[in-house]
Structure 1
Amino acid sequence: MTMQFFDAEATARLTPFPVLVDALAQACLEAARGEIASPARLVVPLNQGGIMLAMPAAARDLAIHKLVTVCPANRARTLPTIHGHVSVCDPDSGEALFALDGPTVTGRRTAAVTLLAMRTFLQVAPREILLIGTGTQASHHVRALAAVYPEARVIVRGSADARAQAFCAEHGNDIDVRVQEGDSIPETVDAVITLTTSTVPVYDEPARLGRLIVGVGAFTPEMAEIGPVTLQGSALCVDDAAGARHEAGDFIQAGIDWGRVTALADALVARGGARVGERDEGSAGSAGTMPVVFKSVGCAAWDLAACRVARAAVL
């Protein structure tokens, strides 16, 4: 039997954000209990500074392998920087079931992890969100926010005003999205999501109770989007505790005490097992008395969650 391969558009259709967020909550708890095997990614060098990344994961019901290449020189070739796919197989027989577009899976599950953090740490649904960055991952986040928080307003800050304007024009039909006016961040912003590859902090404001900061873009020790002023006054949480120690450049460069850092699974457990989207106002997972910085680095267990959602639609 020929294995089905779903391109980027089909992969997006098969992984709707509301369902994906719930699947990620389940996978987060399973991974913390050791029920999903998700080893550290294997990195293989390619020509011209490129890399190949291999990321397998397996649970009792499904096994996946994401294989992607990242080739910065492709910009000069007018080709996408990232290529790849996620193959899905039966964990009993090893039979190949189907394959999804790798960059799309990565983008959507990363945005869905951000939504899971927002639902976990914000007391109420966000009304105003600041995105710092205008790249591919920012686009995935706008689509995710539009799917789950359609009434929210999204403010965008880019490296250049023209880029921010173009980004807003592209996504204006999805949600209320507009360019940030001036340098100061409105007090009404409930969440800030950083989506850059900066090596210096792009957000370093004093921590504010009720404003969640989500760091997404920095994924190497040399990168840092969130500065020490914000980190020092905040409770710190990560999606993958093991990966964060090697990849969360914001935390690494600030020299934070890792004893302060908790895992997202701990916050979900503290909420008493409530389903994603429900509230347990007395739990530690609903923000508590300290502002929260959530750092997302990703792992193959989150890709497996996305493949579970797709499988339900495919098989």
Structure 2
Amino acid sequence: MARPQILLTRRWPAAVERRLAESYDATLNAEDRPMSPTEIGAALRTFDAVCPTVSDALPAEVFAGVPRGRMLGNYGVGVNHIDLDAARAAEVVVSNTPGCLTDCTADLALTLMLMLARRAGEGERELRAGRWTGWRPTHLIGTRIGGRVLGIVGMGRIGRATARRAEAGFGMKIVYYNRSLPPAEEMAGLDATRLDCIDAVLEAADIVSLHIPGGGSNRHVIDARRLSLIGPAGMLINTARGDVVDQAALIAALAEGRLGGAGLDVYDGEPSVPAALTLMENAVLLPHLGSATDRTREAMGMMVVDNLDAFFSGRDLPNRVA
């Protein structure tokens, strides 16, 4: 019996590619070349399963003419790059990889907070450019995050992990907004105050960290008005999805001093990043590194393969989203 044909849209960790090759007729992207939506759509009409990443765009037209019984094994938690309604209409099954990247992304949120508060990005740029003239009492004075108020928007797995690190490691006070009340057992041991709305969190917090899905009603949920609520001394951290922040409004707020700073790992329309944003000294910019550790990226890939195995054996998928 012929093995199912699988296509990876990008290079994956070697251990995962080996496992795929052992079980499937796997086509790997050896050149790691990004694929267009047109190419992915053509692949869905040819392969039994396509494994995209969060950097691939899969709009509705990708699913036109796709035969039933296909699967998308998404390498990543977020699925706002996939038109899930169109996938369902085409009877294409979609899975994702929740949980395994929680700790790494929370670590990175704290990294961005510290870099921004201590002006580490500015300092490194100054040193590498040969402009550092030596230690002096007034040089690159930053701020401590210890004892400050951290506002979490989205108290899911990553939001909770970020809050726990901030509270235990730095004595930060936690306020948060989540649409639903998190289960008590998942909040056990965490001293966090739930506020009634996002605006209340932005007004109360010294630092705001975003942990909500992208797309839909969350697109530009942090707009010019809400950025003004954070204020000229406040900081915004985004390790969620780029489109939850109105990027043009963010640039204006940073340039005009209406926001103290921003630490970003994700961007609207990435990998394109506005030149104006790259010139901001009060911004720390990382290239979507949230899950970028060896163990995490391998675990993500293995989770995709677990979902593929379930799909092709007729079992319920562990992480089905459509």
What band does the TM-score fall into relative to the shorter chain?
0.3 to 0.5
Of Structure 1 and Structure 2, which has the larger fraction of its residues in strand? 1
| CA radius of gyration, larger in | 2
TM-score by length of 1: 0.46
Higher relative contact order, chain-length normalized (CA < 8 Å, sep 6+): 1
TM-score by length of 2: 0.45
